[in-house]
């Protein structure tokens, strides 16, 4: 990338030097606010704004569909080409140029370029999505909202940037033809980067599918492709290897749902709490993980202290598809107990643990718990639901061999996925660096 021939001090601390022929203008002198109310109603097309996709049709959303009321007169209008900001989320990049005529939430700010070229708004969309400007907006934001949803989940941190703070911002102002060329350049380059990211994400999905196929085949057919099959006696399981059995989980392991919550109480012992997100996000639980500190009674500690070889599953969740997600205790832990919303599975024979963990990772066996879970706002499993779950039982030696085979295969796949994820992060960093350099004049593209 080239630089401009000559630079000058912009007089704006965060902006630094800019190309000599660029100007610096206040936001209010560049873009004009469109403060048109949808009263009388001119459109019922509601527009939404997200960090990833910019301005989209609300009708195309699949989540938060009950967020807006039917009183369309409460909304403001946005025209095609308008630059739309979410006042509560612009610090993290919730800004975009609209390709539609529609109405937007009252917390949105909407601006247009007047009689100027429409790429004025497109250039400033890139500017306000740049890392540098998001940092400036963060310093201008006021108010704090961090709602604890439990289980280590929090709503997005929100700092509102006022209309006056936004309008008084000093911004770089290339001439309109240069703004157009910069926007077109970034359209082209970011589209190619996004395409490369999408290809790598698809490759990751294919690797994950390969992982599932590998595990499924091993725990339902074993490692001998020529093995004779027999009817399992369970319709949804179908045929199984000749020497295998079908048994309920209660015959293979002890199952006990935890009742230890995340709160600390007086007169209880301090413990490290393995909670829902630790299980949901990790195949293995290890001692070096950053566990939450909580307290438990002596009886709870005796019953729910995790040991090497234990399996822990999600006992209840917001959706049935997140039920019975397993993790495996790979090593001895220090004062770690199983937390609420989880259940421990401790096999009667130590050799069963790894194999059973892998079986729980397959949809064939996992779905039986999804089906029997019940609830309204949350769905969950009872102890009897767990004990009555069916599993295939090979010989002890086969279980060990299957678990080792899966471990080797999934480790290779995990390494490949990790490399792809690293490549994606580098592409995202490059994209942000490119946008930042171009819109602030540090990199010349025209």
Interatomic CA distance for residues 117 and 210, integer angstroms: 50
Residue 378: per-residue pLDDT: 75
**Where do we find the tokens 């769905």?**
379
Asked if pLDDT for residue 306 goes beyond 70, the answer is yes
Task: Examine domains 23-172 and 223-393 and report if their fold is the same.
Answer: yes
- Residue 151: pLDDT band with limits 50, 70, 90: very low
Residue 119: per-residue pLDDT: 60
**Helical spans, DSSP H, in 21-118:** 27-30
Interatomic CA distance for residues 297 and 263, integer angstroms: 12
Nearest to 158 by CA among 106, 94, 89, 109: 89
Interatomic CA distance for residues 380 and 369, integer angstroms: 9
Residue 157: per-residue pLDDT: 57
Q: Quote the mean pLDDT of the chain.
A: 90
Indicate the class that CATH gives domain 23-172: alpha beta
Interatomic CA distance for residues 70 and 276, integer angstroms: 37
Interatomic CA distance for residues 303 and 308, integer angstroms: 14
364: region left, alpha or beta (phi > 0 left; psi from -120 to 50 alpha): alpha
Residue 379: per-residue pLDDT: 80
Residue 320: per-residue pLDDT: 83
Calculate mean pLDDT across residues 419-435: 97
Interatomic CA distance for residues 378 and 385, integer angstroms: 16
Residue 220: per-residue pLDDT: 95
Asked if pLDDT for residue 3 goes beyond 70, the answer is yes
Opening angle at CA 426, ends 424 and 430, nearest 5: 115
Give the three-state DSSP class for 69. coil
The DSSP symbol for 378 reads S
DSSP H or E run through 384:
helix 383-387
**Where do we find the tokens 């997140």?**
322
- Residue 303: pLDDT band with limits 50, 70, 90: very high
Calculate mean pLDDT across residues 343-354: 91
Is the separation of the CB atoms in 153 and 161 below 8 Å?
no
Calculate mean pLDDT across residues 437-442: 96
Indicate the class that CATH gives domain 174-221+401-446: mainly alpha
Interatomic CA distance for residues 100 and 437, integer angstroms: 29
User: Is the whole-model pTM more than 0.85?
Assistant: no
Chain segment 64-117, per-residue pLDDT in tens: 545 556 678 889 999 999 999 998 888 888 999 999 999 998 889 999 987 654
Is the separation of the CB atoms in 17 and 6 below 8 Å?
no
Residues written for the chain? 446
Chain segment 186-235, per-residue pLDDT in tens: 999 999 999 999 999 999 999 999 999 999 999 999 999 999 999 999 99
**Where do we find the tokens 């421990």?**
344
Calculate mean pLDDT across residues 376-395: 86
Indicate the class that CATH gives domain 223-393: alpha beta
Asked if pLDDT for residue 61 goes beyond 90, the answer is no
| Domain boundaries defined on the chain | 23-172, 174-221+401-446, 223-393
Chain segment 255-269, per-residue pLDDT in tens: 989 999 888 888 899
- Cα 300 to Cα 206, 258, 324, distances in angstroms: 42, 8, 22
């Amino acid at each position: 990338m080239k630089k401009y021939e000559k630079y000058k001090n912009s007089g704006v601390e965060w902006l630094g030097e800019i190309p000599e022929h660029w100007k610096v203008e206040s936001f209010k002198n560049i873009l004009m606010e469109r403060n048109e109310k949808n009263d009388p109603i001119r459109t019922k097309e509601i527009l939404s704004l997200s960090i990833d996709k910019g301005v989209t049709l609300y009708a195309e959303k699949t989540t938060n569909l009950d967020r807006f009321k039917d009183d369309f007169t409460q909304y403001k209008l946005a025209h095609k080409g308008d630059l739309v900001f979410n006042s509560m989320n612009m610090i993290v990049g919730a800004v975009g140029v609209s390709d539609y005529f529609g109405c937007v939430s009252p917390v949105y700010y909407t601006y247009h370029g007047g009689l100027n070229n429409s790429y004025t708004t497109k250039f400033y969309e890139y500017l306000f999505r740049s890392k540098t400007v998001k940092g400036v907006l963060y310093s201008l934001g006021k108010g704090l909202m961090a709602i604890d949803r439990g289980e280590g989940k929090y709503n997005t941190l929100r700092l509102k940037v006022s209309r006056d703070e936004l309008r008084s911002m000093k911004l770089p102002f290339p001439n309109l033809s240069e703004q157009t060329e910069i926007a077109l350049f970034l359209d082209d380059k970011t589209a190619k980067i996004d395409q490369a990211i999408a290809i790598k994400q698809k490759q990751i999905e294919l690797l994950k599918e390969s992982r599932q196929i590998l595990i499924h085949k091993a725990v339902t057919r074993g490692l001998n492709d020529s093995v004779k099959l027999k009817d399992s006696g369970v319709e949804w399981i179908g045929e199984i290897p000749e020497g295998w059995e079908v048994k309920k989980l209660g015959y293979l392991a002890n199952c006990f749902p935890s009742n230890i919550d995340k709160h600390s109480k007086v007169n209880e012992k301090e413990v490290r709490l393995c909670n829902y997100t630790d299980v949901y996000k990790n195949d293995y639980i290890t001692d070096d993980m950053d566990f939450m500190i909580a307290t438990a009674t002596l009886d709870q500690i005796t019953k729910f202290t995790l040991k090497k070889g234990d399996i822990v599953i999600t006992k209840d969740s917001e959706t049935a598809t997140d039920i019975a997600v397993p993790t495996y205790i790979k090593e001895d832990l220090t004062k770690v107990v199983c937390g609420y919303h989880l259940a421990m599975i401790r096999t009667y024979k130590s050799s069963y643990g790894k194999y059973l963990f892998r079986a729980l990772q397959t949809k064939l066996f996992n779905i039986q718990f999804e089906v029997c879970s019940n609830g309204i706002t949350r769905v969950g499993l009872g102890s009897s639901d767990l004990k009555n779950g069916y599993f295939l039982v090979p010989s002890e030696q086969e279980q060990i061999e299957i678990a080792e085979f899966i471990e080797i295969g999934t480790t290779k796949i995990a390494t490949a996925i990790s490399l792809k994820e690293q490549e994606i992060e580098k592409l995202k960093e490059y994209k942000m660096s490119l946008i930042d350099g171009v819109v602030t004049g540090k990199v010349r593209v025209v």
